[in-house]
Amino acid sequence: MALCASLALATAGCGASAGDGQVTDGDASVAAGSVADADDGTSDASDGQAAEGAGGSGSESSLPDDFPAAVPLPDLPIASAIPLTSAEGWIANFRTDDQPGDMEKAHGMLNDAGFEDSYWGADTGNGLVKNADYEVEVLLSDSEPWISFVVTPVAG
């Protein structure tokens, strides 16, 4: 429940209306092909390829410094990634040409990494998985060719 509230509040700051539950492009842009750094629990961009965000800057940036390496990410170009401003957590949007297929790949990847389903609705375009440390909500955008990961720490 808190995750949904966090998403509604956070997406208002990145281009979506708080009531539609869809994450849309903000001004953030990050490099495609980000790689997790297992030593310090963060992720960073390492291949020098920039993905262009809505701002059109095309400038090279990275996932937020504190994005958890424990959360596996799809091997897709990153459209945008930002920390949540209203709650602890992050949103990462990935460009895809096959939303349903990439959602199922993400589901398998998350399950293989030890995340368990809270719910999974491939037919509804959203799902929630969690482990002892994080909840990951996976959403398909109605307006963009994206798959979005909303990652929040598990309250404990």
Tokens 């509604």: give the residue.
8
Residue type, 116: E
Residues 144 and 128 sit within 8 Å (Cβ to Cβ) = no
127 has a pLDDT exceeding 80: yes
Angle at the Cα of 131 from the Cα atoms of 125 and 137, rounded to 5 degrees: 20
State the pLDDT at residue 46: 33
pTM over cut 0.75? no
68 has a pLDDT exceeding 50: yes
Beta bridge partners of 153: 134
- Considering only CA atoms, which of 59, 140, 136, 38 is closest in space to residue 91? 136
Encode pLDDT of 21-63 as tens digits: 333 333 333 333 333 333 334 443 333 333 333 333 333 347 8
Helix count (H) and strand count (E) of the chain?
Answer: 2, 8
Encode pLDDT of 72-112 as tens digits: 999 999 999 999 988 899 999 999 999 999 999 999 999 99
